[in-house]
Chains A and B, each alone.
Chain A
Amino acid sequence: MKRSSLGHWIALGIGALYFLVPLIATFEFSLRMRRGEYSFDAYRVVLADARFQATFGYSTMLALATIVVGVLLVVPTAYWIQLRLPKLRPVVEFITLLPLVIPAIVLVFGYLRIYNSSSLLPMTSNERATDLLLTFGYVTLALPYMYRAVDNGLRAIDVRTLTEAAESLGASWPTILFRIIFPNVRVAVLSGAFLTFAIVIGEFTFAALLDRPAFGPYLQLIGANRAYEPSALAIIAFAVTWACMGLINVVGRASRGATPTVP
């Protein structure tokens, strides 16, 4: 027993080394901008860069739009599948897994062919329309995660009883969805939302090929032209990802403390 736990510690030690060294190295590198001493100059330069602010703001807006569209698409569907069409569950689950099967670059290639400016639905003809297309693309990318999160949330509550209780009290469908179902899967929706945010904020392929000024293409541009700023940006990106994952844990833990609506 002693010897085997030593082996476990060694495995974990090597793992920690592999995962922490690049973070330490990146952080160290990001401090090297001023010759001969450590400074936060790289961060100052990055944060003051107008393009950083513009692209980060743009990607944040896109992420929020993606979350709103994704939630409005997924929650009613998953709810309806659970309540009325359980036979369709395998079909819907299969579709939500497709974005993992079809590479993102293939999807965006298809978008560019189908929604180009000479097509029936020219979604790349002006910037607003392309933003919309990009949002829908991101909803697609986030679909596997959002659907899984919401579906797990719905399975944990008694959808049928809640719906029937609301119906018998005279609630309309919008009321049931927005005042009964949504609040009950709040935690699941938030988990899906934070994960979506983490995926969208630095996404490169869709944004670059649809030619929109998002954070991902900006990162790539800086990486190709600067020395120390990329490291600072990598640390910032890591912090954002960490914050998203941390928030998922926080809302998950908070909900476990609270009393569930339906025991």
Chain B
Amino acid sequence: MTETAASQVVPPRTRLALPDGFSWAWLGVMPFFLFAVMFLILPTGFLVVGAFQDNEGHFTLRNIVNLFQPSILNAYWISIKVSAVSAVVGAIFGFFLAYAAIAGGVASWIRPTLMTFSGVASNFAGVPLAFSFLATLGRTGLVTALLIKYLDFNIYSTGFNLLSFSGLVITYLYFQIPLMVLIMAPAIDGLKREWREASTILGASTWQYWRYIALPVLWPSLFGTTLLLFANAFGAIATAYALTGSSLNIVTILLFAQIRGDVLHDQNLGYALALGMILITGLSNGAYIWLRSRSERWQR
């Protein structure tokens, strides 16, 4: 203890107080900023600038205008629909799951099990996830086969196809729900037991408790995390690519094809495509970060 006190008087302190210590301190974070510029800022900036240039490098808005052609608009629209539906459904189910595990009434091993599993499942995305759902709900998948065998019900005769919109949404939920569980758990922990007790004593019904107390506290995290899930699905490609090949026209797959073989026959249009994606994920993530800072007021 005395050593610590003594060290505050000798050299290190004086060095911290040096006026020119500032420039020297900056050196310590230079590698990080250099890395960020080289592998985050410059690559993104290059595409953003390129989106506003023609082949000769002159300024133009033509690429942005060209985004509004039916095939590209359609790709954005399908991406937005898949992301929005999987985000909203994932948020609802994820919230109920997290609430059921945390708010009590169930065995105590449930919560750690759910959290660990969510950590695994939220990272079990990409190509293997597509394989899993092909083995489950594909044409020869186990669930498809069992439904035909025991219930004489062929889900494929209802128009369902795993390699389509609904199939992609069901598959995406496998990482969306766990992500919701992981992010909402601290927020649900923040609901204090006393609030529930106080409202019950004052004669509030369960509905009133949720309407006037829990939801107003939770909504920034609920809404913000839904936006995070949206951006998460919007930027995803591996699962969709492995599942549908290039048959489903979502924007990441279109961009993937563009990078591989210039399918748009216009390099700068590809940059504009990327810019559109950055705008959409940027806006939803930005809103998420803002809402999270609001919700943290309740959590201390």
Q: Which residues of A contact B (CB under 8 A)?
A: 1, 4-5, 7-9, 11-12, 15, 18-19, 21-26, 28-30, 73-74, 76-77, 80-81, 84-85, 88, 92, 95, 97-114, 136-137, 139-140, 161, 163-165, 167-168, 195, 198-199, 202-205, 208-209, 216, 219-220, 223-224, 230-231, 233-234, 237-238, 241-242, 244-246, 248-249
C-alpha spacing A248/B116, complex, angstroms: 10
Given A15-B177, A77-B29, A238-B128, are A164 and B40 also a contact pair (CB < 8 Å)?
Answer: no
Asked if B101 contacts A12 (CB within 8 A), the reply is: yes
Q: Which of B57-65, B67-75, B103-111, B184-192 contacts A (4 or more CB under 8 A)?
A: B103-111
C-alpha spacing A238/B6, complex, angstroms: 53
Say yes or no: is B11 at the interface (Cβ < 8 Å to chain A).
Answer: yes
Asked if A140 contacts B119 (CB within 8 A), the reply is: no
Asked if B29 contacts A106 (CB within 8 A), the reply is: no
Closest Cβ–Cβ distance, residue B121 to chain A (whole Å): 6
Contact of B127 among A99, A137, A216 (CB under 8 A): A216
Asked if B3 contacts A209 (CB within 8 A), the reply is: no
8 A-B pairs closest in CB distance: A110-B43, A5-B105, A103-B235, A25-B142, A29-B135, A8-B100, A237-B128, A204-B238
Contact of B39 among A139, A219, A237, A244 (CB under 8 A): A139
Q: Which secondary structure dominates chain A's binding surface?
A: helix
C-alpha spacing A165/B235, complex, angstroms: 46
Given A29-B142, A99-B40, are A8 and B103 also a contact pair (CB < 8 Å)?
Answer: yes
Count contacts between A and B, CB distance < 8 Å.
261
**Which residues in B have their C-beta under 8 angstroms from that of A109?**
43, 47, 255, 259, 270, 274
Contact of A204 among B110, B136, B141, B237 (CB under 8 A): B237
C-alpha spacing A216/B131, complex, angstroms: 12
C-alpha spacing A92/B238, complex, angstroms: 29
Contact of A4 among B43, B47, B105, B129 (CB under 8 A): B105
Given A8-B100, A112-B259, are A85 and B123 also a contact pair (CB < 8 Å)?
Answer: no
